[in-house]
């Protein structure tokens, strides 16, 4: 009997260790999946589709993220990015955007008016100027010099929403409605290079002149081509206070998975705002992608989702894990 038991135990050990090695093999295979594109919110789906056309044909991540997020900028029904974005307290649509490539080149525009595609202006800042960031009138002047057209970005729909808001003029952004929907996108291309882009009309009914995290390299977006990339959505002030996206990348450098890194920064933000009235309308979310093609996300409250596409995942929306109800 004893020998028989021993035999069974040995067989079980052999079986389960076989399973374990299969699992770890699967994990390793997951790590080398590329290209990968990940972007925030529902409008990440059409944005990923556009990016995927480039990535799946061997194109580079920088082109993919720029082309990808332009879909949201051009869509008047996306009321938090580009054309049709909610205006500020003075009824003006002011846009923020930034882009970054695998050489740490970056370009950014903030408080830009009348230009539908701030992400492409940000790319021009990166490629055509000795600077990283242009704002306001200077950014507009530069965009016009570069051949971008001047447009009215306030649609009938957003004008009506603004007029309705004016009745109370109360600044208490509605969670997941008025303080979100920036499109942030990260991509890893076939050459193993990362890029990221982030573009928004910012928080609805913000003060005129307010700039959020989205055009701030390190807050709304950051990447290190040796490690990974991260980007944010939600109340920008919180990401600026914590250098959120840069921190996610640093945490990945120190061994955290993309999910763990996003979670740790959200925890830090929660700690800062806990007990403060601002917590009432605080939503923040991060997406992250590492150099091995692993991705993850975490947010403060339920409601944030992101779109992911790889060779094995066909552009799907995933609800991010969250900290509080
Ligand atoms: C900002 N982060 O300006 C942006 C707002 C937003 O998804 O919509 N984020 O603070």
Q: Using one digit for the tens of pLDDT, what is the confidence trace for 244-299?
A: 999 999 999 999 999 999 999 999 999 999 999 888 889 999 999 999 999 999 99
Set 182, 199, 200, 242: catalytic member: 182
* pLDDT: which is higher, 22 or 296: 296
**pLDDT for the residue 18:** 38
Q: Is 23 part of a structural domain of the chain?
A: no
pLDDT band at 33 (very low <50, low <70, confident <90, very high): confident
Average pLDDT of span 91-102? 98
Which atom of ligand 1 sits closest to the CA of residue 237?
10
What's the CA-to-centroid distance between 136 and ligand 1, angstroms? 18
Cβ atoms of 61 and 193 within 8 Å: the answer is yes
Structural domain tally of the chain?
1
Q: What is the pTM (predicted TM-score) of this model?
A: 0.89
Active site annotation includes 182: yes
Q: Can you give the pLDDT at residue 177? A: 53
Domain range for 90 is: 33-319
Is 7 inside a domain boundary? no
Nearest atom (ligand 1) to Cα of 236: 10
Q: Which of 12-21, 130-139, 254-263, 287-296 has the lowest mean pLDDT?
A: 12-21
Provide the CATH number for the domain around residue 305.
3.60.20.30
Which of the listed residues 47, 79, 80 should we mutate to test ligand 1's pocket, taking the one with most ligand atoms within 8 A of CB? 80
Q: What's residue 27's pLDDT?
A: 36
State yes or no: cis peptide before 35, omega within 30 of 0.
Answer: yes
Better-scored residue on pLDDT, 170 or 251: 251
Flag whether 169 is in a domain: yes
Judge whether 125 lies within some domain. Answer: yes
Looking at per-residue pLDDT, the higher value among 82 and 8 belongs to 82
Q: Whose CA is nearest to atom 8 of ligand 1?
A: 180
123 phi-psi bin (left φ>0, alpha ψ -120 to 50, beta other): alpha
Whether residue 197 is predicted with pLDDT greater than 60 in this model: the reply is yes
In a domain, 189, yes or no: yes
Backbone angles phi, psi at 99, to 5 degrees: -145, 150
Q: Which atom of ligand 1 is nearest to the CA of 96?
A: 3
Q: Please check whether residue 53 lies inside any domain of the structure.
A: yes
> Tokens at residue 35, please?
């290209």
Statement: residue 324 has pLDDT above 60? yes
Asked whether residue 162 is domain-assigned, the answer is yes
Exposure letters 171-207 (e unless 16+ CB within 10 A, then b): eebebbebbbbbbbbbbbbeeebbbbbbbbbbbbbbe
- Where helices occur in 75-145 by DSSP H, the ranges are 118-128, 136-145
Residues making up the binding site for substrate: 210-213, 233-236
Q: Which of 5-14, 99-108, 187-196, 236-245 has the lowest mean pLDDT?
A: 5-14
% pLDDT > 70, the chain:
87
Whether 267 is covered by a domain: the verdict is yes
């Amino acid at each position: 009997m004893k020998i028989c038991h021993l035999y069974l135990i040995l067989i079980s050990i052999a079986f389960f260790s076989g399973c374990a090695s299969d699992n770890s093999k699967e994990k390793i295979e997951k790590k080398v999946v590329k290209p990968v594109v990940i972007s925030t919110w529902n409008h990440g789906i059409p944005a990923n589709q556009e990016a995927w056309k480039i990535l799946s044909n061997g194109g580079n991540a920088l082109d993919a993220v720029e082309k990808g997020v332009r879909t949201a900028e051009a869509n008047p029904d996306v009321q938090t990015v580009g054309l049709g974005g909610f205006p500020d307290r003075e009824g003006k649509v002011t846009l923020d955007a930034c882009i970054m490539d695998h050489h740490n080149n970056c370009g950014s525009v903030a408080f830009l008016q009348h230009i539908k595609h701030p992400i492409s202006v940000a790319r021009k800042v990166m490629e055509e100027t000795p600077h990283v960031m242009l704002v306001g009138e200077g950014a507009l002047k530069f965009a016009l010099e570069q051949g971008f057209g001047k447009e009215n970005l306030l649609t009938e729909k957003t004008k009506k929403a603004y007029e309705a808001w004016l009745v109370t003029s109360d600044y208490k952004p509605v969670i997941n409605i008025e303080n979100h929907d920036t499109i942030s996108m990260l991509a890893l291309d076939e050459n193993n290079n990362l890029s990221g882009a982030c573009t928004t009309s910012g928080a609805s009914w913000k003060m005129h002149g307010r700039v959020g995290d989205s055009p701030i390299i390190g807050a709304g977006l950051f990447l290190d081509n040796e490690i990974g990339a991260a980007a944010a959505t939600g109340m920008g002030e919180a990401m600026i206070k914590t250098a959120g996206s840069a921190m996610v990348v640093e945490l990945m450098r120190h061994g955290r998975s993309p999910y763990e890194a996003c979670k740790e920064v959200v925890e830090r933000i929660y700690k800062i705002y806990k007990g403060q009235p601002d917590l009432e309308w605080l939503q923040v979310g991060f997406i992250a992608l590492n150099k091995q093609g692993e991705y993850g996300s975490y947010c403060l409250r339920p409601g944030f989702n992101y779109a992911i596409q790889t060779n094995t995942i066909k552009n799907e929306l995933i609800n991010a894990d969250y900290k509080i109800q």
